[in-house]
Structure 1
């Protein structure tokens, strides 16, 4: 309307001027209509907001009750998994409380976090107790017993629900034993009872799926009268009354009203201004100039590719936010850097890189929302800051941001895998000025990337000293090889069926003159960044081939960085080292990360083939942690895959993980690929590997990485355990 008016004015079209009284009447009529319109809109918004709040509260109640029920079922499953009724009753009858506690009460406490575990008879008398993993403790049983007694008296054994008193609160599950224990002189049937304490941590975890905040448990029938809180009644098994779970509801309707009412006020003002502008056309020129200036300022503050704020505006906004921050208010700064973005640009092209940057910008902006400011400093560097009321609010938003960044980005020809490293610094605890806060967020980002990427790191004071220490390590690393500070250790690889050593994995160590022995994780990434990793790899390979002459019949595997293996003459270098040391190629295995097969090239394929032609084996290390499938692996002459230790950690507690390991083993065997399980640390894990037919394994259960002298001694002692040199024959055949 304003633009049409200004065009008519410049074209010389005459605009009639109404009389003063007519203008006064029109103004009053327009203002009256405007007031009626605003009142109507407010009424509609209030009604819609009340209805929306009512629906939201119902959804939150159902979601919280569903989460509570799901947790009860989880406790039931934990009890079913942990108890072997016949074994438990037998140990109870025999008085073997220590073993009963180890396999039942303590397992439920340590493995599933269930604080209180009891066994009772049919009258509620206590036969066994475990509180916080300690057998014989009965401090909490006093406030739990009324709920158990009530359940037994009402014939509701097997009941699960909430028990809450002035002494504590928790989720109670009573699970009767299906078998009778005639050897135990107590009323039958016996029952297992467990209680998961309903503390703040558990309350928040139950509330998390429904995105509820500040969940509290209240006993009695006190209603939730606070306008910002929502509650739902839950039966209390302690005294038969009802307890209440109350939380700070989302109340989208109220939020909508809070957001809409200022907008309505702005709308009213704009309409009034527009109405007055129609009467006073001279104001049009000033409004046009102001709009033009605002548009120019907006364009100057934006990044051309993503539309986010650029470096200059972002820093200015950050300084302003810090200056206006209340003394006790929190302001969180994020530095976000994409992992392997250069590789995507180089392999998929700059068009795909730009598409990825736009997608990431959108995801970050949507996650942060209107509460904060998001910018791009250039390249793949994104920044954001936002205020937060408490640490929980920060954690929720950071979790949402990480989840939003991980899905792949479609680019028409496929998908672009994206991961990001995030550094976090917080005002006022980490810094008070924009420059200091940015420097410390950058230090946290550096640590996140140094940890392997796809992770988040918060700034801590020691990170600065660690960064200085890292620089000291980087300075010394360049001459470590010449000074003879690098040594080789040997971790045994064992035949699972017989327990005999059949080979060794060689691992590089750095004996730093000041810091002592450093593990590969502390310097290999630096060596890659300094482009000296190739020299370290070839040194370790040559040294291993020389020393392994004292390990007859044993295979050895040597870790090689992907960048080293991608060098054009790698296979020729291997051949030269084998010729120089006289080492048997059939006993040598090169270990590379599984991700190397995902970013393979024709040159890399030829290197694989050249190694196999020489008789050298190729193993994929850390298998299962990336995206490589055995379909990818089968396209390369791989001789072995090594199941990553992260799978072994869960193999005996998670049936799904155990099934995955067994499936990978069978599929690899069908492709005639050897399999080794890494990170074996317990006899329970070893029994599992034997049951599924895993051929070889390594880990601290057998031995840590050893010096060459200790490895030789281990083989000598093993030889002495077998007559007539049978060990050599077995080891040579398995290798």
Structure 2
């Protein structure tokens, strides 16, 4: 498209002097027209828009205040219903102390919250005790409300029914109760609007809780249902708080614009009543102040429009001519001038589009890249005019064989491509034979007979190539192979034609075999505690020594495993081996790297639980190190998986901290146990003052968030001193230890060097 832009600029330069003034007039008139239309629309709709905005905000304000009122009712009751004595008296089971309940619930609490009615029910919503106007009431008083309460009860065990975020669950007897971050049981409660005695009311359902002795929670506690009618007194307080005038209950929605309204609906979306009030009105005032301005502007605009009509007419004419010129320029930029075929740029665009628009996974985009054998010699012996005529005849023959949807393009002098949708190899063979058939008959040019042959290379995507550029390169490789085999033939691209592809596939197969046959090995690099120089833990590192290729770096085979879909198998192998080795390491802690593809695998947690059970290891000895790739979307599923790992007892560390664009955001998203500073902050720290400052800031951040900080890649004594001065608790690097075999780790632990090895710091 760069060529198109350059040609379009050239055409604009030719007409700029002639239409400069007219274009300016056109721009001004169009701008004025646009602004005037917007202004007139604003004037015409000013009052309605302003009033509707106010009405909407008033409805939202009232709706929010109802939620606040309901929340306040719940919180007031929560204070009164938290007590060991209350739970013993009336909180569990059908046997309750009626006298205590009448005095403290129906009487004192009912008076505190100004309840219209209260009901003590069991965990299934069955009535145990009823009160109306602070006095005991018959069971029949509860019947109309029972169905609504039964709908609410299941919601108490959902996140929406808890008073805060869940940190953990505790099992006490037959009861599993959610606890918050402060170590206290979370309140189970719900509130909504209901119909009670033919009148809208606020209903709250809240479970009784102990305040000190949490061991009392051995079975589901009873629930207190409270009804607070929306009576005039409550409406008056709400109207005063929201500054809404004449707030009252009506049976039907307000008609006209003199009153605003909010529908009160129950949990089944049934309309119970309407809260209506007199809205604030600003529209007439706005209209009165803006009308003179509108009238003056319309007069001004009419004058400008009358002056610019002739200029606009001429400018539109010139603009159309310019658009036609630019269209011609674009066509010329994307097509060959001699044959009118799409050029290389256009072919690549069409090829990319066809790859994106395939109808199913089995459909392939087949590309045939061919040129005329010894065409240069034809041009030199019989002349370029003969060569051009041959090209025209070749294109004519090609067009007779094309199918609907095929793309024919010219890349260079005698280089052509044909792109066709098909099924890969079969379509490639069919297309190759058809192209070769075109050159079996000689060409007649200016009374002369000229024999012309062609060589062709074919490739297809996405089976052989991920994108348009690669499939064209593959076809070019196949074309070279066809010429090397003697010309006048076609060849399909194969993996053997590209050593890189062959090597990659070989490595993938060998890695798969190495995992299956247990040919990998584990090494363990110690992590040193700078406080006393002792070894705090080990990081597990996977190693692959190929019998023919020698030592293969994890930087080579781990990305290969991720791209080939082998990461779950490789990850499971590493977990099993580390768990098995850990039996010989005493109580030493071990860090394990997790790939993003491994942790999001469908059966990762299930496999991990199975390995724990089979190997009988303690999860608290292991730390999983993850990179930012795991958290790129911060999805609920990923965060849930990490939380589940912590609940199982594993620690979680954020590896390579500081190398991504959102490391700090991840620290807010999830509570890590440890962060590992990337080695890029340690390498060169001796001469980089900024790196030292950044490292100190990271350490301070880790301490603030109660996370341990590990510095990787410490290789010199000066680096160790600077890292220690920055406040890092732990370091890892060749200055202390290289990766050790499991046998070396066992020997190290046996000689007690973990405790006796000290650094001179």
Which has the larger Rg?
A: 2
Same fold (TM over 0.5): no
TM-score (norm 2): 0.37
